[in-house]
Amino acid sequence: METVEMNSVSLKRPRSEDDVANADEIKRQKISEKSKTGNNSGQSVETVTDQPDKSLLEDTKNEIIPNEESEEQEDEELEDSDEDGDPESFADMMKHGLTESDVGITKFVSSHKGFSGILKERYSDFVVHEIGKDGRVSHLDDFSVPVDDEVNFEDPSEETFTVLSDEDKQRLEELQLLKNKETSVAIEVIEDTKEKRTVIHQAVKSLFPGLETKTEDRDGKKYIIAYHAAGKKALANPRKHSWPKSRGSYCHFVLYKENKDTMDAINVLSKFLRVKPNIFSYMGTKDKRAITVQEIAVLRITAQRLAHLNKCLMNFKLGNFSYKNHPLKLGELQGNHFTVVLRNITGTDDQIEQAMHSLREIGFINYYGMQRFGTTAVPTYQIGRAILQNNWNEVMDLILKPRPGAEKGYLVKCREEWAKTKDPAAALKKLPVKRCVEGQLLRGLLKYGMKNIISAFGIIPRNNRLMYIHSYQSYVWNNMVSKRIEEYGLRAVPGDLTLKGATAVHIEEGDVDNYTIHDVVMPLPGFDVIYPKHKIGEAYKEMLVADNLDINNMRHKIRDYSLSGAYRKIIIRPQNVNWEVVAYDDPRIPLFTTDLDKLEGKPLPVLPTDGKFRALKMEFSLPPSTYATMAIREVLKMDTSIKNQTQLNTTWLR
Q: What is the mean pLDDT of residues 335-352?
A: 95
Q: What is the per-residue pLDDT for 89?
A: 53
pLDDT of residue 241: 47
What are the Cα distances from residue 224, in Å, to 140, 165, 174? Answer: 36, 14, 17
For the stretch 158-167, what's the b/e string if a residue is b when 16 or more beta carbons lie within 10 angstroms of its beta carbon? eebeebbeee
Partners of 295 in beta bridges: 254
- CA dist 86 and 565 (Å) reads 42
Strand partners, 282: 296
Question: Could you please report the per-residue DSSP string of 247-304?
Answer: S-SEEEEEEEEES--HHHHHHHHHHHHTS-GGGEEES----SSSEEEEEEEEET--HH
pLDDT of residue 93: 55
The closest alpha carbon to 437, from 466, 459, 415, belongs to: 459
Q: Tell me, what's the pLDDT at 505? A: 96
CA distance 393 to 386: 9
**Nearest CA to 85 among 648, 642, 644?**
642
Q: What's the CA gap between 389 and 192, in Å, rounded?
A: 70
Could you tell me where the DSSP H helices lie in 309-408?
Answer: 349-361, 380-388, 392-400
Q: Residue 597: in which H helix or E strand, if any?
A: helix 595-599
Cα 184 to chain centroid distance, Å, stands at 35
Picking from 238-247, 310-319, 342-351, 514-523, which range would have the lowest pLDDT averaged per residue? Answer: 238-247
Distance CA 289, CA 26 (A): 13
SS3 410: helix
Q: Which residues are catalytic?
A: 287
Least confident residue range of 45-49, 155-159, 337-341: 45-49
Other CB atoms closer than 10 Å to residue 452's CB: what's the count? 14
- Alpha-carbon torsion (513, 517, 521, 522), positive or negative: positive
* pLDDT at 229 (0 to 100): 63
Backbone angles phi, psi at 213, to 5 degrees: -135, 155
pLDDT at position 155: 56
The string of pLDDT tens digits covering residues 248-297 is 999 999 999 999 989 889 989 988 887 888 999 999 988 888 999 999 99
Nearest Cα to 140, choosing from 600, 592, 601, 596? 596
Q: Please tell me the distance from the alpha carbon of residue 11 to that of residue 44, in angstroms, as a whole number.
A: 25
User: Distance between alpha carbon 650 and the CA centroid of its chain, in Å?
Assistant: 27
- Name the percent of the chain lying above pLDDT 70: 79
pLDDT digits (tens, 9 = 90+) for 22-63: 333 333 333 333 333 333 333 322 333 333 343 333 333 322
Q: Show Cβ contacts of residue 577 under 8 Å, excluding neighbours closer than 6 positions.
A: 356, 359, 360, 618, 619, 620
Model confidence over 422-434: pLDDT tens digits? Answer: 999 999 999 887 7
Distance CA 259, CA 128 (A): 12
The answer to whether 569 and 520 have CB atoms below 8 angstroms apart is: yes
Q: What is the mean pLDDT of residues 495-520?
A: 95
- Banded model confidence at residue 159, pLDDT cuts 50, 70, 90: low
Q: Could you tell me which of 368, 377, 382 has the C-alpha nearest to residue 415? A: 377
Task: Give the pLDDT confidence of 433-468 residue by residue, as tens digits.
Answer: 777 899 999 999 999 999 999 999 999 988 889 999
